[in-house]
């Protein structure tokens, strides 16, 4: 059974030298046993791995505190190791694969002494889906094992799917000694292999997520004619029963999870959630795009999540089932033994520990700004009935967004597919706490994939332009919920009111409304937006759609600078679109 898997596991065990090897089978008893171990053993600090929370409020939920130096993705320590540096492109850190393996193999040598090595067979995508991919992750972290249980379809049945085949994605992970100087997340796209050491943080350690489902999978998609994207997938049902599915791409911590579970502000509409972070997109036999969510859970940002901003996520977090819910680096309300984070309630509870377990001091963060919850998608009251559909859902529109205080209008439609690809390839967004580093600076983040594209982005743009055989492309839209006024205040109410913009997009898809041609693309006639019940002035609406020449000149300069890194490899079509934009802006 699963000969190639056994051989690979034996080799990794010989390298890492664990005391014990445990194969994850995927059943309730095993899960309970893991939680028990996690509640007794110290993990990465002076705390047990899991602390059970108040099961009357948050059933089957646990608090986890990470090492304080290990709270976000570390892009500077993440490498994409193609044999040729040019194939990784300017968007990735690169190391020669042989060198990279030598470097991390030395760190993995004996790293599991005194620890248990867990083997997790798992599938990204529903096991019945032709688009799903079988994988094996090795780890020495119980937190990672339980998280993989929640976030993927894990268990021994995947070993039967793999059989004696060599065709599975390999992920070797160890928390190592959590020293950032010995932390590396190494990707080997040619070998479907990830080696990650020194971090237990989700984006670095749950290797099915960013490492495989985006970085490695984007490269697989390039070779095989499909796309792996940093996108939500949502269904929208109109009052007359029409059902459409859209994709939404935003950089990390820009509200993807909230949008995926939006409570529509227009009566009669119903939203369902297929995915909140990753979409695998294939061309169906009818020439349309079809998307699956390869994950089975949500790893979302906790701060800011509340009954007001995302009631459906709050309900998800309060629904206990077989899969536990984890809260990582949140505060702890001692009086109720429940999690707390900024924004959950107006006032912090009086008896509060911060995310590191110290008494909370006013003026400091109780939860880490990138504190996360890990919850099963099956707990979500809005989960789409199509969630497990092996073929995925047909896509009517794609929306791209970024976090921009100025320049970018509330919504804009591209002229056609290629113009949409141009605009998506040149998107800028202000950085957030989801990655270590400066916060709030504009960086180009094409398709919100800058940290996740596993090959040269110039080739990725070419793949978007010409690599898919779509005869019936969806419309492409661009949104910016984050425009601010001169006092730094957000001008658009956001959250459930974002649905008003989605409604306009659906009207455009159905050909019900016209749009205004402008130098940056097609803008709505404000009279076509449903603003009923919204207290927003005409002046503010006009400002949200204002295209300022000086801001766009700066934007064009930023795009030119970004594009210049790709040299001749950048598709000519994009260069032409940029020249067009420049001309139209004069
Ligand atoms: C995430 C991220 O965790 O994008 O989804 O950082
Ligand atoms: Mn993400």
- Burial 56-94, CB ≥16 within 10 A → b, else e: eebbbbbbbbbbeebbbbbbebbbbbbeeeebbbbbbbb
In order of 165, 195, 585, the CA distances from 171 in angstroms are 16, 6, 48
Can you tell me the distance from the alpha carbon of 278 to that of 291, in angstroms, rounded to the nearest whole number?
10
Strand, helix or coil for residue 162: helix
pLDDT at residue number 1: 64
Please name the residue whose Cα sits nearest to atom 1 of ligand 1.
252
The CATH fold of domain 229-296+386-585 = Phosphoenolpyruvate Carboxykinase; domain 3 (3.90.228)
The answer to whether 45 touches 70, Cβ cutoff 8 Å, is no
Tokens linked to 133: 């991919």
- For 503, the 3-state DSSP assignment is helix
* Euclidean distance between CA atoms 553 and 39, whole angstroms: 56
Side-by-side strand order, sheet with 227-229 = 227-229, 279-283, 289-292, 393-394
**CA pair distance 505, 246, nearest whole angstrom:** 10
Ramachandran area for residue 62 (φ above 0: left; ψ -120 to 50: alpha; else beta): beta
To test ligand 1's pocket by mutation, which of 213, 253, 279, 328 has the most ligand atoms within 8 angstroms of CB? 253
Q: How far is residue 80's CA from residue 457's CA, in Å, rounded to a whole number?
A: 12
- Protein residues with C-beta less than 5 angstroms from the ion ligand 2: 252, 277
Predicted local confidence at residue 434, as pLDDT: 75
Burial class (CB in 10 A: 0-12, 13-18, 19+), 539: exposed
Q: How far, in Å, from the CA of 528 to the mean position of ligand 1?
A: 34
Q: Which ranges of 443-537 does DSSP label H, i.e. alpha helix?
A: 457-466, 498-509
Domain ranges of the chain: 3-49+70-225, 229-296+386-585, 297-379
Ligand 1: centre distance to CA 252 (Å): 5
Around 342, how many Cα atoms within 13 Å sit in the side-chain half-sphere?
16
Name the closest ligand to CA 432. Answer: 1
Relative to the alpha carbon of 202, which ligand is closest?
1
Q: How far apart are CA 461 and CA 459, in angstroms?
A: 5
State residue 462 phi and psi, 5-degree precision: -60, -40
DSSP state for residue 293 in the 8-state scheme: -
Residue stretches of the chain with pLDDT short of 70 = 1, 42-47
Query: Best mutation site among 70, 199, 202, 300 for ligand 1, i.e. most ligand atoms within 8 A of its Cβ?
Result: 202
Ligand 1 atom 2: the closest Cα is on which residue? 252
Listed in sequence order, the residues at least 6 apart from 420 whose beta carbon sits closer than 8 Å to its beta carbon are: 398, 400, 414, 475, 476
What are the DSSP calls for 361-408, one per residue? -TTS-SS-TT-EEEEEGGG-TTB-TTTT-TT-EE-SEEEEE---SSSS
Segment (H or E) for 196: strand 193-197
Two tokens at 35? 């939680």
Q: What's the rounded Cα separation, in Å, for the pair 578 and 62?
A: 50
| CA 163 to ligand 1 center in whole angstroms | 32
**How crowded is residue 245: how many other Cβ atoms within 10 Å of its Cβ?**
22
Q: How many helices (H) and strands (E) does the chain have?
A: 16, 30
Which atom number of ligand 1 is nearest to the Cα of residue 278? 5
Predicted local distance difference test score (pLDDT) of residue 42:
60
Of 254, 380, 412, 453, catalytic: 254
Distant-in-sequence contacts of 441-446, Cβ < 8 A, 24+ apart:
442/404, 442/558, 444/558, 444/559, 444/562, 445/251, 445/402
- Has 254 been annotated as catalytic? yes
**How far is 87 from 17, CA to CA, in rounded Å?**
34
Chosen CATH of 297-379 out of 3.40.50.300, 3.40.1260.10, 2.170.8.10, 2.60.40.10: 2.170.8.10
Burial of 17: CB neighbours in 10 Å, binned 0-12, 13-18, 19+: middle
Ligand 1 midpoint to CA 577 (Å): 30
- pLDDT for the residue 439: 80
341 CB-side CA count, 13 A: 22
Give distance in angstroms: CA of 260 to centre of ligand 1.
14
Distance of CA 421 to the CA centre of its chain: 20
* Distance, CA of 484 to CA of 547 (rounded, Å): 14
For ligand 1, residues with CB inside 6 Å are 73, 202-203, 252, 277, 299, 434
The residue behind tokens 């099915």 is 208
Superfamily of domain 3-49+70-225: Phosphoenolpyruvate Carboxykinase, domain 1 (3.40.449.10)
Q: What ligand has the least distance to the C-alpha of 436?
A: 1
The confidence score (pLDDT) of residue 322 equals 81
């Amino acid at each position: 059974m699963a000969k190639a898997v056994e051989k690979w596991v034996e080799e990794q065990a010989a390298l890492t030298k664990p005391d014990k090897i445990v194969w994850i089978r995927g059943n309730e008893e095993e899960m309970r046993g893991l939680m028990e171990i996690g509640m007794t053993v110290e993990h990465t600090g002076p705390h047990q791995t899991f602390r059970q929370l108040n099961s009357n409020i948050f059933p089957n939920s646990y608090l986890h505190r990470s090492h304080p130096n290990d709270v976000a993705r570390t892009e500077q320590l993440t490498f994409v190791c193609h044999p040729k540096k040019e194939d990784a492109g300017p968007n990735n850190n690169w190391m020669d694969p042989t060198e990279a393996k030598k470097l991390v193999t030395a760190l993995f040598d004996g790293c599991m002494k005194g620890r248990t090595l867990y083997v997790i067979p798992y599938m990204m995508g529903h096991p019945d889906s032709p688009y799903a991919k079988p994988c094996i992750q090795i780890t020495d972290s119980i937190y990672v094992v339980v998280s993989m249980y929640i976030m993927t379809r894990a268990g021994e049945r995947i070993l039967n799917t793999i059989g004696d085949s060599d065709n599975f994605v390999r992920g070797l992970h160890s928390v190592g000694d959590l020293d950032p100087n010995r932390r590396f997340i190494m990707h080997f796209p040619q070998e479907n292999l990830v080696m990650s050491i020194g971090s237990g943080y989700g984006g670095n350690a749950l290797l099915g997520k960013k490492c495989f489902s985006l970085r490695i999978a984007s490269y697989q998609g390039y070779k095989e004619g499909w796309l792996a994207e940093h996108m939500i997938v949502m269904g929208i049902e109109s009052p007359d029963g029409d059902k459409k599915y859209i994709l939404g791409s935003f950089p990390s911590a820009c509200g993807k999870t909230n949008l995926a579970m939006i409570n529509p502000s227009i009566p009669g509409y119903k939203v369902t959630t297929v995915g909140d972070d990753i979409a695998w997109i294939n061309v169906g036999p009818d020439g349309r795009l079809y998307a699956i969510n390869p994950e089975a859970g949500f790893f979302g940002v906790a701060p800011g999540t509340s009954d007001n901003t995302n009631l459906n996520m709050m309900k998800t977090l309060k629904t206990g089932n077989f899969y536990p819910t984890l809260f990582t680096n949140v505060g702890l309300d001692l009086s109720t033994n429940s999690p707390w984070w900024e924004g959950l309630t107006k006032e912090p509870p009086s008896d509060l520990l911060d995310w590191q377990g110290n008494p909370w001091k006013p003026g400091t963060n109780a939860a880490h700004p990138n504190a996360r919850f890990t919850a099963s998608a099956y707990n979500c009251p809005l989960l789409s009935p199509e969630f497990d559909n092996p073929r995925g859902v047909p896509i009517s529109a794609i929306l791209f967004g970024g976090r921009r205080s100025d320049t970018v209008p509330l919504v804009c439609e591209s002229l056609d597919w290629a113009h949409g690809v141009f605009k998506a390839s040149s998107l800028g967004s202000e950085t957030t706490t989801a990655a270590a580093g400066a916060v709030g600076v504009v960086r180009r983040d094409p398709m919100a994939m800058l940290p996740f594209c596993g090959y040269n982005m110039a080739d990725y743009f070419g793949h978007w332009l010409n690599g898919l055989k779509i005869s019936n492309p969806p419309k492409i839209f661009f949104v910016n919920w984050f425009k601010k006024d001169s006092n730094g205040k957000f001008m658009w109410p956001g959250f459930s009111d974002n649905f008003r913009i989605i409604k306009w997009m659906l009207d455009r898809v159905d050909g019900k409304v016209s749009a205004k041609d402008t130098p940056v693309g097609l803008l709505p006639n404000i009279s076509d937006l449903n603003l009923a019940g919204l207290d927003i002035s005409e002046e503010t609406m006009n400002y949200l759609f204002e295209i300022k020449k000086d801001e766009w000149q700066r934007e064009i300069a930023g795009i030119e600078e970004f594009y210049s890194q790709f040299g001749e490899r950048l598709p000519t079509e994009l260069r032409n679109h940029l020249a067009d934009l420049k001309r139209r802006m004069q």
